[in-house]
Structure 1
């Protein structure tokens, strides 16, 4: 049970109901929702992000109804997906055209300004080139020989998706986890954020692995090589032709010249979003289903609840880092073994009232925070709508201890980096 040692009691100023809450968190009323969401957004989203959120809102409830209404949960290729790939290939075609034009101008320019123009086009093509990812150089990376028990668990969970495991695991301090690929051969990488791993129970960790590996199984198109790189190229174009803010006289002319290219890039980005956002949200629901299959519905729902307080975990790590900065510098090289235990204890002390408040805030805000993921309350509802899944993969105390030992060096390295800022 979560600690309530810092509980306060006061009447609700709106309806008079007695409020019992933890002084470390927002005081709110569960009876009338007074002060349930007191924080205003830090900044207003741009046009593209507003459009994404609008699309996500339109699809949200409808997609939940489809996922809970007996529709097949297998990944599918629809017309929108085919069109998205076609648009993405056209974007890459522009990059190839720039490359070929640059080569021709440099090799056949016969002096003058043409080779200079060709060199410019080659530089532009290089900037827009597809990226195949690489292993991070700022985080510990584990391979199968470094952590055989962890990789065995990953393989066991992957089989439930079903898919194959990963080739490497990168360990960071993030309160998050993700999967990606690296290299021309598109080898698989799991990025494991200790900020999330350390605050979850063993079965919740299985659920986390099930969700991330589910993205490989269910074909999330926005993370595929073709579309992901097209979005990268479009973002680069958008940066290059974005209007200059507070322009001078000459810059006004440049803005006028940039206007049509900027609108064209913006339009293609919006089209790709329109074609892929629904599939991206569907992929999240399917990944949640893989999570429940591997770890059980109960563990998958518990993981969703943990994700509600990721902001509190991030704040705790920032406080720890700031506190370390003001301590005696002579002690900065001492290993900080207890950071992750302190984080886990702090998250465990968060009262149930704060989890409930976050759930209600998520329902109020909907897709206004993240347009690429369905709101947590909808994902939670989807998991609870079907029959309860038993756990296909269970981890015992021996496995937990073995995996903890394999992560020990990475835990020390990452903790030291967190505390050193």
Structure 2
């Protein structure tokens, strides 16, 4: 790739001669012709034949998924074409999930059967089978270990806001709110009793306006009532089990030990088996993602529309545009962590002062990002079809669809007193989250 010519801020575009005005902290590019939109494109050339083949396979999958993504968007952008809720792909995904649960059931029943035979030689085999059944059991969700759970007594105003949003959508209220350092929010059910847990990532919360926060909350509560098939216990627990096996089977280094040839052969065989498990589960996870891609994206768009109905189209659109700023959050976190490492042995602000100033620094940095850089990141999202994660539609398409709908006014608003009360309630969690960031 040819390196773009150096251009000073407030200069002229070398491609179309349009005037350039940019913050030197960020990429200098041209909004008129998109010159230098993505200066990193083409810098990671794949040289070896296996890597080229792997890249071609990934590119083929991206094209296939991209066609599905664009078709879902076109269907939803045309109100006269109601989308299917449960199609053949949905039933296929449920069948694959069922096969995962059947494996667990087979190991459980078979192992118990071996134990009841009374044959002592079968006890070790049964124990191994029960162990496999245990690690492949359905995962029912858990709290984030880096999170700070808040009770209703600790954050009554935050819970009141969440309850109002849930009531507006007809969704069950949150039984627990957990605050984490992350750049995102989630609405999940955990445990056998399927408790509703709302997770608020402070990195996102801090850079949103009060109206945008309501929109983000409404989007998450919308998942409780938008018919998302990926949220069903049958499917979700199967995906969690496969993910656990995939991570457990990830290839590790070959052990170099003086224990002898037998040990080395056993270690090699065990790693070979686990590598097979890793590749099989990765294949199944990709298949499940593809089978639920259309239905999952429709559910996400529906949640966005619910957010617009609760918080207004304008607040929802600006909230979605803020999602492309995740790299800036990482920049602040890395910078602050580096400063902390450098001042650990020297004179530095007190721990509480440092924790409190992290979020202030993040807010100021994000607020200082010029509009031309925000536009670049949104266009880059369109070029790369990037999204929050693989389960979400591309961010730029979410913004487009909200903009294509008739404007909606806010059904729920926050007054300054409520906002201030919520901010006060989040102070302890904000301190804890900052310490997690500093230690990472």
Asked if these proteins are the same fold (TM beyond 0.5), I'd say yes
1:252 CA displacement: 8.2
Residue in 2 that maps onto 1:358: 377
Tell me if structure 2 keeps the 8 A contact 1:88–1:227.
yes
The runs of 5 or more residues in structure 1 that have no matched partner are 1-6
Residue in 2 that maps onto 1:318: 334
User: Aligned in 2, Cα 1:79/1:318: closer, same or farther, shift over 3 Å?
Assistant: same
Greater shift in the superposed pair: 161-170 or 246-255: 246-255
Pairing 1:25-36 to 2, within 5 Å after superposition: 25-36=26-37
User: Aligned in 2, Cα 1:146/1:39: closer, same or farther, shift over 3 Å?
Assistant: same
Greater shift in the superposed pair: 57-66 or 394-403: 57-66
The number of aligned residues is: 414
Pairing 1:298-377 to 2, within 5 Å after superposition: 298-329=314-345, 331=348, 332-336=350-354, 337-367=356-386, 370-377=389-396
Q: What are the Cα deviations for residues 356-393 of structure 1, in whole angstroms up to 9, with x where unaligned?
A: 10111111111588432111111011001111000000
RCO higher in structure (CA 8 A, sep ≥6): 1
When the two structures are superposed, what TM-score results if normalisation uses the length of structure 1?
0.88
- The DSSP-based 3-state class of the residue aligned with 1:21 is coil
Residue in 2 that maps onto 1:210: 218
Q: Does 1:219 align with 2:223?
A: no
Q: Does 1:383 align with 2:399?
A: no
Residue in 1 that maps onto 2:153: 145
Residue in 1 that maps onto 2:4: none
Greater shift in the superposed pair: 283-292 or 369-378: 369-378
Pairing 1:141-290 to 2, within 5 Å after superposition: 141-238=149-246, 265=281, 268-290=284-306
User: Aligned in 2, Cα 1:389/1:147: closer, same or farther, shift over 3 Å?
Assistant: same
User: Aligned in 2, Cα 1:218/1:73: closer, same or farther, shift over 3 Å?
Assistant: farther
What is the alpha-carbon distance in structure 2 between the residues aligned to residue 408 and residue 345 of structure 1?
18
1:327 CA displacement: 1.5
User: Aligned in 2, Cα 1:338/1:242: closer, same or farther, shift over 3 Å?
Assistant: closer
Tell me if structure 1 keeps the 8 A contact 2:352–2:431.
no
Residue in 1 that maps onto 2:23: 22
Q: What are the Cα deviations for residues 271-306 of structure 1, in whole angstroms up to 9, with x where unaligned?
A: 423321111111110111111011000000000111
CA RMSD in angstroms comes to 3.2
What is the alpha-carbon distance in structure 2 between the residues aligned to residue 133 and residue 48 of structure 1?
32
- The DSSP-based 3-state class of the residue aligned with 2:300 is helix
Tell me if structure 2 keeps the 8 A contact 1:169–1:190.
yes
Greater shift in the superposed pair: 252-261 or 213-222: 252-261
When the two structures are superposed, what TM-score results if normalisation uses the length of structure 2?
0.84
User: Aligned in 2, Cα 1:236/1:138: closer, same or farther, shift over 3 Å?
Assistant: closer
1:59 CA displacement: 1.6
What is the alpha-carbon distance in structure 2 between the residues aligned to residue 282 and residue 127 of structure 1?
32
What is the alpha-carbon distance in structure 2 between the residues aligned to residue 260 and residue 416 of structure 1?
39
